[in-house]
Amino acid sequence: MADTHAIDTWKAVLGDLQLQVNPSTYETWLKDTQGVSISDNLLAVEVATPFAIEWLERRMYQSIQSTAQKIAGRPLQVQFQVRNTAPSNGSESPVADDQRPAHRTIQTPQYRLNGKYNFNSFVVGPSNRLPYSAARAVAEAPGRSYNPLFIYSGVGLGKTHLLHAIGHTCVSEGLSFIYVTCEQFTNEFITAIRGRTTEDFRAKYRSVEVLLMDDIQFISGKEQTQEGFFHTFNDLHNSNRQIVLTSDRPPKALALLEDRLRSRFEWGLIADVQPPDLETRMAILRTKAEQMDLGLDDSITEFVAKKVQKNVRELEGCLNRIAALAKLTGRPITLELASQAIADFMPDLSRRSASPDRIMEEVNRKFRVTNDDLTGASRKKGIVRARHVAMYLLHEALGMKDTEIGRLLGDRDHATVINAVGKVNYEINVDSQLRQDVLDIKEAIFS
Ligand code: ADP
Ligand code: MG
């Protein structure tokens, strides 16, 4: 039996953590967790896999622990346990909309669609009208309008939401489709090569009417996967199957991408999602509040919408915090409560605590180099690596422009920076020492 106090407390902790960690960490490791029971000093939380538990305990235990104590106002130990595999009565259905379950697609469970990400729940405004309309168009007539459809934007602006929405339409239209993140695609492809099952792999992807691939930017630098994706793309495109891709930047800004893929990405329609204006942000908050059964006064909606401007996910994070505080204290949602709940909110906390200086300091510590090494001309292996990691972190964690990064690190040109970033992006997948180093540095900066 679900314990509502445990659920609410953990939700409040999540609301807070969402503002502390970067969005992909949150999505990957925290979002699908759930509070199950709570006692005086123990909060049990269910997590999908043993691996996720290990990751959370190794990487985030400190911040989870201290956040839980802060929220509960008393010492509270968080204990993770693996979720029962029996389907819960939660709101996320394994295969998308439950509207017409008769239309089973060939999705496997790991490609779950979020039931909340559909076209109806997507608030349309000037900032996202083009990608929204294009997504609808391809969902209604796959392969016949824009192919591929390439959607890009900064984080938290609705790309994944739109992809899932197309997936839901496929479900209700009985179209076969695959929704896959670039990382999943890469893993599957590599597994197929290792197991000599590339034919099966190819047949599987070739057989669908719609391919939805999220975060294609991660294909940068992965030459083998690019080769595999090139064939998949051609197979599908030649037979008028729809391809939809999302990315955090336009094709021409994707570093380390083969030209033949880049040009294919540009064949159809490229649409970008801009940060929503104030009115749209308010409309989004109203929609979310409604979904959460939360009565929100316009003054509160406006207050929050003015505070968070660039990222819809953060808007939601604020709303979660407000809801949690109201629920835990039993107080009504007033402007006062709202401002208290998000008092210490600063847009994108992870970026706030990271500065170029902090990043360089931690890189120096980790690689035993100095700022002069980073900005200087030395080609020593260790120094070059440290310099590359610094560029990577300034780019990934801080979102600095490549030209600025180049200037900061000894007046290097932006192509050098792009190459370094792509290189590290690739190498952290294959070099576990480097992965460890980068994680350590991130942890030192962000925790
Ligand atoms: P991205 O993939 O671009 O990083 P997501 O699709 O994950 O962003 O969106 C982040 C969150 O913001 C999701 O919960 C999504 O539902 C919500 N969101 C983004 N844009 C909108 C919108 N226009 N209307 C409603 N919700 C939105
Ligand atoms: Mg996304």
pLDDT digits (tens, 9 = 90+) for 170-212: 999 999 999 999 988 998 999 999 999 999 999 999 999 999 9
Taking the centre of ligand 2 as the mean of its atom positions, its distance from the CA of residue 153, in whole angstroms, is: 9
Ligand 1 mutation pick, 127, 128, 157, max ligand atoms within 8 A of CB: 157
Atom of ligand 1 nearest to the CA of 23: 4
Taking the centre of ligand 1 as the mean of its atom positions, its distance from the CA of residue 137, in whole angstroms, is: 19
Would the CB of 315 count as within 6 Å of ligand 1? no
Taking the centre of ligand 1 as the mean of its atom positions, its distance from the CA of residue 301, in whole angstroms, is: 17
Q: Is 81 helix (H, G, I), strand (E, B) or coil?
A: strand
Ion ligand 2: residue ranges with CB closer than 5 A: 159-160
Q: Could you report the per-residue pLDDT of 142-172, keeping only the tens digit for each?
A: 999 899 999 999 999 999 999 999 999 999 9
Would the CB of 122 count as within 6 Å of ligand 1? yes
Taking the centre of ligand 2 as the mean of its atom positions, its distance from the CA of residue 156, in whole angstroms, is: 7
Specify the residue with its C-alpha closest to ligand 1, atom 11: 313
Specify the CATH number of the domain 278-345.
Answer: 1.10.8.60
Please tell me the number of Cα atoms within 13 Å of 190 on its side-chain side.
12
Is the model's pLDDT at 321 over the cut of 80? yes
Name the CATH superfamily housing domain 4-82.
Answer: DnaA, N-terminal domain (3.30.300.180)
Residue ranges of domains in the chain: 4-82, 97-272, 278-345, 350-446
DSSP state of 21: S
Q: Where are the alpha helices (DSSP H) in 295-401?
A: 298-307, 312-329, 335-341, 349-353, 356-367, 371-375, 381-396
Would the CB of 320 count as within 6 Å of ligand 1? no
Would the CB of 284 count as within 6 Å of ligand 1? yes
Q: Tell me, what's the pLDDT at 92?
A: 36
Ligand 1 mutation pick, 163, 217, 313, max ligand atoms within 8 A of CB: 313
Closest by CA position to 117, among listed 70, 164, 76: 164
Measure the CA dihedral 154/156/160/165, to 10°.
-120
Is the model's pLDDT at 271 over the cut of 70? yes
Taking the centre of ligand 2 as the mean of its atom positions, its distance from the CA of residue 384, in whole angstroms, is: 32
How far apart CA 184 and CA 196 sit, in angstroms, is 18
Categorize the per-residue pLDDT at 346 as very low, low, confident or very high, splitting at 50, 70 and 90.
Answer: low
Would the CB of 212 count as within 6 Å of ligand 1? no
Percent of the chain residues topping a pLDDT of 70: 89
Ligand 1 mutation pick, 160, 164, 179, 312, max ligand atoms within 8 A of CB: 312
Atom of ligand 1 nearest to the CA of 117: 16
Q: Tell me, what's the pLDDT at 91?
A: 37
CATH class for the region spanning 350-446: mainly alpha
Contact call for residues 359 and 398 (beta carbons, < 8 A): yes
Contact call for residues 49 and 85 (beta carbons, < 8 A): no
Find the ligand nearest to 123 CA.
1
Q: Is 110 helix (H, G, I), strand (E, B) or coil?
A: coil
Taking the centre of ligand 1 as the mean of its atom positions, its distance from the CA of residue 90, in whole angstroms, is: 20
Q: Tell me, what's the pLDDT at 2?
A: 67
- 3-state helix, strand, coil split of the chain in percent (to 5) is 55, 10, 35
Taking the centre of ligand 1 as the mean of its atom positions, its distance from the CA of residue 162, in whole angstroms, is: 8
Lowest mean pLDDT among 184-198, 214-228, 350-364: 350-364
Ligand 1 mutation pick, 19, 31, 133, 161, max ligand atoms within 8 A of CB: 161
Q: Given CATH 3.40.630.10, say whether it is the number of domain 97-272.
A: no
Mean pLDDT of the 14-28 span: 82
Q: Tell me, what's the pLDDT at 103?
A: 33
Q: Could you report the per-residue pLDDT of 54-110, keeping only the tens digit for each?
A: 778 877 888 898 889 888 888 888 988 888 654 333 333 333 333 333 333 333 334
